[in-house]
A and B are shown apart, each in its own frame.
Chain A
């Protein structure tokens, strides 16, 4: 039996009296393209935070590539291949756009076992990633000078720079135009074809449907659906709790 790449087992998280995540169980196999949807405040970002180590889950375990993530700091999880983009972009404001990409290259790719990238290769890799998200002309600029949309792309590029095995994209497409959305979806599918497992959190149903092989729905901290996209969107509970809105 093949061990799933990511195993989320009975994960729970509370903030004071508020239950953000309630006994979440989720297995993601290597190579899957999973969409994660749900209303605002349903716990999607909290789940991502718990998986990636930004927050500690109160109960349950997160296992990645067969290794338990309990107690591991976020940077250690990133180095093991778990990368995420933030819903609200968090660029490093005192660094240039290109330098923002350089940081994960320096601290994740070059921190792993195996050959390290030389400074020249680092420069090339930065350029490559910037080109992927069409930001190559703005490499020298400060993130403050980017538009919201460009900042989201930078956010995604920074996550990709960590060369993850599993990439979680948290609402990267808000505010993008139709063609930009198509570009990003195509990009993510290409990454997936290269072997990267991807979880896409989105509200834009077109993007989710064209991307996902599997759809998971979170409502009020509970998983209420998990299966083929076509079936899930017809599920009564899902329609009532989210899609019908």
Chain B
């Protein structure tokens, strides 16, 4: 399937889903759906570096929170313009602030992408293990900075009050839902494009055998950096609308470990070798968790995710895609 057709298909499916929810559902469906869509983006983003290249990122929360906090920054700036900005800059800034969410998404992506580039540049020359630990380190450093930065709320957190309604869509949550759907389309298209391009081959060789990849002419450092930047940027983009979705941003929730676990569990359970894996994993685990959080405690729900991760990693390392592939192979032989 050629890419433009694929994009069209995604748009059709997304639009159908939206209209379905709008017709038959209530606001809750949009809230829950937003979370699942967010997970699709995070899982797909993680998989570009983790599944395709084999470099594990434990700091998904860090990149996600970078997006969230850059939104908080600009929101707070708009709110407190008179107090923090010198007179001369107030007028031009008043004209562009408050920034609309799509712009914040782009900014979130850029900020997260740049941090990804920096971290990658420092650590991707070393073994994958050190990169993984460095991503963990990064998340903690970022969290410590946000805890100590009063302007974006510090440890007390920041309140973000979105408008009640928006033209065309109505309730604000529907607007956010549509934005996140667009991000899903971008993420899935990007992952699929990469997979089928020369880049996809390069990533696969890095995952299989970096030394042999270098000897075959693959510029491994450059490709790893590309993967890190794309992955980080997508995560930052997913985080940018978060303050408007949740209304109150504080470091413990923005940097929550559940993001890291889910971003790893969803692709590993779904299957890491293709863009379909994170999609399946995110939809399955995401919906499961939405149901579980309502019926059982959220801690128990996270426990299940963790156990599923361990289980799949041991028993079905190729994920659901792998299971399906061996099942179909058995049927034909």
Contact = CB atoms under 8 A, between A and B. Distances in A.
Answer whether A and B touch in the complex at a CB cut-off of 8 Å.
yes
A106 B214 contact: no
The residue in B211, B215, B219 that gathers the most chain A C-beta atoms within 10 A of its C-beta is B215
Contact of B216 (A53, A73, A93, A104): A104
A113 B14 CA distance: 43
A94 B209 CA distance: 10
B212 A79 contact: no
Contacts of B212: 86, 90-92
Interface stretch (A38-46, A95-103, A229-237): A95-103
Greatest chain B CB density within 10 A among A73, A76, A92 is at A92
Interface residues of B, number: 20
Interface string A84-128: 101000111111000100111011101100000000000000000
Interface of B: 198, 201-202, 204-205, 207-209, 211-221, 273
Interface of A: 52-54, 73-76, 78-79, 83-84, 86, 90-95, 99, 102-104, 106-108, 110-111, 158-159, 161-162
B208 A93 contact: yes
Contact of A78 (B204, B217, B221): B217
Given A73-B219, A162-B216, 6 more contacts: A53-B214, A73-B221, A95-B201, A103-B213, A107-B202, A159-B215
Contacts of A102: 201
27 contacts: A73-B219, A75-B213, A75-B214, A75-B215, A75-B216, A75-B220, A78-B216, A86-B212, A90-B209, A91-B212, A92-B204, A92-B205, A92-B213, A93-B209, A94-B207, A94-B273, A95-B201, A95-B204, A103-B213, A103-B217, A104-B216, A106-B198, A106-B202, A107-B198, A107-B218, A111-B217, A159-B215
A83 B273 CA distance: 29
Contact of A103 (B201, B207, B221, B273): B201
The 9 A-B residue pairs with the shortest CB-CB distance, nearest first, are A108-B217, A74-B214, A107-B217, A90-B212, A104-B216, A92-B208, A78-B217, A107-B218, A75-B214
B218 to A, nearest CB: 5
A228 to B, nearest CB: 31
Contacts of B220: 73, 75
Contacts of A53: 214
B321 to A, nearest CB: 13
Contacts of A107: 198, 201-202, 216-219
Contact of A75 (B204, B208, B219): B219
Contacts, number: 82
Nearest to A107: B217
B209 A92 contact: yes
A76 to B, nearest CB: 8
A94 B204 contact: yes
Contacts of A91: 209, 212
A78 B208 contact: no
Interface centre among B198, B221, B273 (most CB of A within 10 A): B198
Contacts of A76: 219
A95 B208 contact: yes
Contacts of A90: 209, 211-212
Contacts of A104: 216-217
Nearest to B219: A75
A121 B214 CA distance: 23
B214 A103 contact: no
Contacts of B211: 54, 74, 86, 90
A76 B211 CA distance: 13
Contacts of B218: 75, 103, 107
A21 B223 CA distance: 32
Contacts of B215: 52, 54, 74-75, 78, 83-84, 86, 159
Contacts of B202: 103, 106-107
A79 B215 CA distance: 9
A79 B217 CA distance: 6
Most chain B CB neighbours (cut-off 10 Å) among A83, A93, A94: A94
